[in-house]
Each structure stands twice: as structure tokens, then as C-alpha cells.
A and B are shown apart, each in its own frame.
Chain A
Amino acid sequence: MSKKTLTLMSKDKQLFNIEEHLAVQSVTIRNMVKEDGASSVIPLPRVDSETLALVIEYLNRQQAPEEDEDYVKKFVDERGEIPTLLELAQAALDLDIKKLMDAACMKVADLIKDFTLEEVREALRIENDRTPEEEKAIRDEFQWAF
């Protein structure tokens, strides 16, 4: 395996180096490398440097395939803040890194499911535009869920 290095640039113009064979775990990067050799800097205009640092840390992991699932679960567990996880999910989706994206979304779902509705609204900053009557009608229809 060649040890060629790629440079990724975050939204806020910070540069990150990563070995090519690790970077191509991202399908998006793999396709870019295939197409034009990606010799220069790869810009990632939607990923900020904080998130990109996390993605790089994830791509650099040295795990046996059998232990990989536990690793990625732990990796997102340690970053249990919803805003960070949403950013990570977005980056993983853009870069097409399936395992990371699955784990980040799963973690957000896990956090949200124990929330009250008010807490969900707060965490995701949703404005409640329903009247109490409308709310009651829905509660009645799906009684079992509430």
C-alpha cells in the first residue's frame, strides 16, 4: 500500500493531512481520487474544522474489522452533544462514510427518544405552531404512542 498523503481543507480554510489509503474510506474522496488523482488540496466547503478533525480521527483508527463496530459506537458515544453529532452526521453523509453516518444518526435517535416533546423541540429548535386543540386531536388519534 502506498503511503501517499492527501490534504483536505475545511470550510474555515484549515488544512488536514491524511494518508490516501485511509481517506478513501470516504466514497466521495475515493471517487475524486479516481477521477483526477486529487493531487492538490480537496476542499470540503460544508465541513468545519472541528468536525473535520473528528472525521480524520475516525478515518485514522486502527481497528480489526471485527472490532470496528464497537469502536465507531464508542467514538460517537464520547461525543454525545447533539449539535456535534448532527454536524458529524452531515459530514459523514457528504463524504459518504456509511458506518460513521449510521452511528451518528443512531446516537441522535437514542438521545432524542428519551426526551419529552418540549425537549425535542428545544434540542432541534422546532417552533410549536399548533393550537392545544390540534395537539389533543393528534394525541387522541395515536393514544398508544403518548
Chain B
Amino acid sequence: MLLIFLKLMTDDHKRRRLLPCVVEGDRLSNLPESAVSSILERLPVQDAVRTSILSKKWRYRWTTMTSLVLDKQFSGKFAINGAFGRNGLILHPRPITKISLHIPTMYLDSFQEIDQWMLFLSRNSVKELLLTNSNRPYKLPSQFSSCLELRKLKLENCIFAPPLKFEGFPNLEELSLKNIDFGADSCGTLVNLPQLTKLNFISCTNVHNFKINAQKLNALAVVTYPDVLLFFLRLFESPCLTRIAVRFLKPVEDFVRVEMMKLIELLSKLPEIQSFVINGYFLKLLGADNIPKWFSHAVNCLEHLSVRNFQYSDLDQLRGALCLLRNSPNLKSLSLKQSVGHALTYDVEAASDHLESPDCLDQTLNHLLDVDIESVDGSRPELLFIKLLLAHSPSLNEMTIRPIGTIDASKRLNIAKDIMRFRRASPKSELIYLDPNP
């Protein structure tokens, strides 16, 4: 878009006429070509095509794109016309290396056109495919498994039952799966993903049929019901894994002890894990009665711990959090975000008593530098937890407190007064008390 602008800039009188008040116009004139291309490639395809009308120079510019975004609006129009692949798009002169495709909500007789796209893409050595689907689940055609050049793949609401002979995607680096059904009666083929470093796995079904071999996996994020967690434990053992995020969709209720122990054992054996992001429901698992106070091995590499939807008043979650703190001697940063609501259903007294008992955290957090506490509402267990952290962190550099927006100014002031009184083990620690986000 800026090429023409460039041309315009050289024409001084025009510039004055067209841009009477633009003083900093020249700032843009040397914007590199690749940034412009980069912006163009992020436009939905119909908008990119529309740029051909902007000016003469722009006429063919869009055809140099190697990346296409077929968003909701585009897919809607095409599904109506019944011509996803026609209109010259498939005759697009450059190979498509990157594509975002959306399957719209409207009634479709079949997914024939999407299948055609898949065939087209597999022949085009597509490198990046982002498929979103707000229709019924889409069964990926067999051609899909021949997209061997894929580097980045994101699928939503699909049925993916890899054929028996499928060996994997040899170049795939990033994989994101959301609402994927791996097929109840599929053969559970082992999929080799030798280059995979990042895997996101959100609310999938028939997970037992998802078997992958990914030796380079570095970051794993799982959103799941607790009962299928076991299928992921294998992935936890990937040798290069340093970042794990697990979010349970509901609390753990009837998790058997054996399974729980397996998890603890794994956690304490994770040799390289540096960053761990979990939610309160997951913490409940570590707070149960039969969990040992000390793991057989401390989680030595863990530097960053983040707990989302944490409920300070839930004794199980609280014990889970303390258990992780106790077993992570090298923790450097801690981030906690309180879950909103439901506090009444928990026993605030029991949680507060636990926090006030002298041996609730019999360990100094020697390496803890940064603490970030979100959605602070001044409940007693929460304040006691903050007090505990301040008293146990001799190296603390910064603690950031972010009060929740729903409390009024005087309440916020009272929380600040309370926190100010807490003794701090670190003389150099700075307390940052932020205004709530508007």
C-alpha cells in the first residue's frame, strides 16, 4: 500500500495539496517492502483483492501474496455461490505457502469444496494451514496426510483419524488442535512429528487414539477434562520439554490415588521444566490428603509458576499451591490470578487457619524475585497468602498487586494499608500497587 504513497511523496506540490496537515508524512516513505507485503498477507483475501483497485501500481500486487486469509466473510460468500475453488483463486499464480480457511456456520450439503481446497493445498506444498470451523465437525480427507511440507498447523472442530500407513508430518513445528475427534474406532496410528516444538491441545475427544512421537517438543499446553490427563503423561516425558501449561475444565473429584501418584512422580522427575502454568482445578490434585509433603525429587529447574483461576479459600487448592512452592527451590517468578466468585462455597476459616499455622510453608523461597498477584479483593486467606510470601522471600525484588475492579476506592485503600504492614524478608523489595484496569 505504501509504494504509491512513496511515489506521492516525491511529488511535492501534490503532497502539499493532498496532505495539508501531515507533518510527519516522510516518516512512512521508507517503510520496507517486506512490511507492506506482510500487512497485505494478513488481510482477508477479498480485501487483498480489493487493493487491486487502489491505484495502477496496486493492480497486481495481491497476486504476489503467498499467504491467503479466507475468513468468515469470504467463506460465507463462496458457500452461497457454491464455488470455493473457482474464480481464479485456485489459478493464483504463486504457490500458496500459508492459508487460513474458515468453514462457515451455514448449511452445507457436503464438505466437497473444502476437500478440494485440501487437495489443492497438498499439491501446493502448503507450509502453514489454519483451519477454523463453526459448522459440524469436518472429517479431514485422506489427501490431508500428504501435506508433508507443513510447518504450522492449526485445526478446529475436525475429525482426524490418520490412515494406518500415515507416518507423520516430517517438518511440522507447531501444532494446535481444538475440539478434534480422533475417532472412536480409528487405529490409533503413531504419528511421527520429529520437528514438533510446540503443541496446543484443547478439548479434544477420543484422545486415546492420538499417539505421537515428538522428541523435540518444548512447549505443551493442554486444556482438558481431568480424566484424560493420563494420556498426556507420556508427552510430559519428552526430553526437551521446558514449558507446560495445563488447564482442567472441571475440578478433580474421583481421581484415583495411583494416577495421582503417577503424576506427582512425573512432576518431580521433569528434569527440564522451567515454566509451569496451571489453574486452580489442577492444583486441587496436589492438595489432596494423600499427597506427600515433599516430592521424592524437588522440581529443581522450575523458574516460573503461574496459577490462573486460583481460589485462596479452597483448602485443597491452597495446599496444592504450598506444595508446589515447597518443592520448587529455584522458583524465580510467581504469578497468581484469583478466580472470581464462588468464594462463599468454601471454608474461609479453615483456609485462614491453615495459612496461620506456623509450619504451613517450612521453606524459604530463596530465589523468588518477582511476584504478581491479580484480581486482589482483600479476602482474609488472600491477604495471609501475600503475607506469607513476603515473609518467606529474602531475595524478593518486586511484588505487584492488582486489585480487582469491582471493589471501591476505600476498600482498595484498606487492602493497601493491610499489605503495607506485612513484614518483608527482603529489605530491597518494592511493592507496586496498581489501579484496577478500567
Among B2, B28, B35, B333, find the residue whose CB has the most chain A CB atoms closer than 10 A: B35
Task: Tell me which residues across on chain B come within 8 A of A102, comparing CB atoms.
Answer: 38
Contact partner of B335 (CB less than 8 A), chosen from A64, A112, A127, A130, is A64
Contact partner of A135 (CB less than 8 A), chosen from B5, B43, B53, is B53
Task: Tell me which residues across on chain B come within 8 A of A128, comparing CB atoms.
Answer: 54-55
Task: Tell me which residues across on chain A come within 8 A of B1, comparing CB atoms.
Answer: 112, 120, 124, 126
Check if B50 sits within 8 Å of A117, measured CB to CB: yes
Check if A65 sits within 8 Å of B275, measured CB to CB: yes
In the complex, whether A13 has a CB less than 8 A from a CB of chain B is: no
In the complex, whether A121 has a CB less than 8 A from a CB of chain B is: yes
| Cα–Cα, bound, A144→B7 (Å) | 30
| Cα–Cα, bound, A128→B18 (Å) | 12
Residue total for B at the interface (Cβ-Cβ under 8 A): 53
In the complex, whether B106 has a CB less than 8 A from a CB of chain A is: no
Closest to B198 in A: A65
Check if B50 sits within 8 Å of A112, measured CB to CB: no
Check if B8 sits within 8 Å of A127, measured CB to CB: yes
In the complex, whether A80 has a CB less than 8 A from a CB of chain B is: no
Stretch in contact with the other chain, from B19-27, B137-145, B227-235, B287-295: B19-27
Check if B35 sits within 8 Å of A90, measured CB to CB: yes
In the complex, whether A109 has a CB less than 8 A from a CB of chain B is: yes
In the complex, whether A40 has a CB less than 8 A from a CB of chain B is: no
Closest to A123 in B: B1
| Cα–Cα, bound, A135→B47 (Å) | 15
Check if A125 sits within 8 Å of B27, measured CB to CB: no
Closest to B335 in A: A64
| Cα–Cα, bound, A146→B81 (Å) | 14
Contact partner of B43 (CB less than 8 A), chosen from A87, A113, A117, is A113
**Distance (Å) between the CB of A128 and the closest chain B CB?**
6
| Cα–Cα, bound, A90→B36 (Å) | 9
Given contacts A83-B28, A125-B18, A129-B55, contact A66 B39 (CB under 8 A): no
Closest to A142 in B: B49
Interface residues of A in 66-98 (CB under 8 A from B): 66-67, 83, 86-87, 89-90, 93-94
| Cα–Cα, bound, A102→B34 (Å) | 11
Q: Is the interface of A mostly helix, strand, loop or mixed?
A: helix
Check if A66 sits within 8 Å of B28, measured CB to CB: no
| Cα–Cα, bound, A94→B33 (Å) | 12
Task: Tell me which residues across on chain A come within 8 A of B49, comparing CB atoms.
Answer: 142, 145
| Cα–Cα, bound, A66→B247 (Å) | 12
Task: Tell me which residues across on chain B come within 8 A of A105, comparing CB atoms.
Answer: 35, 38-39, 42
Task: Tell me which residues across on chain B come within 8 A of A67, comparing CB atoms.
Answer: 277, 306
Contact partner of B55 (CB less than 8 A), chosen from A66, A106, A112, A127, is A127
| Cα–Cα, bound, A108→B31 (Å) | 13
| Cα–Cα, bound, A135→B219 (Å) | 49
Interface pairs (20), CB distance under 8 Å: A64-B306, A64-B335, A65-B275, A66-B245, A83-B27, A90-B30, A90-B35, A102-B38, A105-B35, A106-B42, A109-B42, A113-B43, A117-B50, A121-B54, A121-B55, A125-B19, A125-B28, A126-B5, A126-B8, A144-B46
Given contacts A129-B56, A138-B53, A145-B46, 11 further A-B contacts (CB under 8 A): A83-B27, A86-B2, A86-B27, A93-B38, A105-B39, A124-B4, A125-B25, A126-B58, A127-B7, A135-B53, A138-B59
Pairs of residues from A and B, 10 with the lowest C-beta to C-beta distance, nearest first: A109-B42, A145-B46, A145-B49, A124-B1, A126-B4, A105-B38, A113-B47, A66-B277, A125-B5, A105-B39
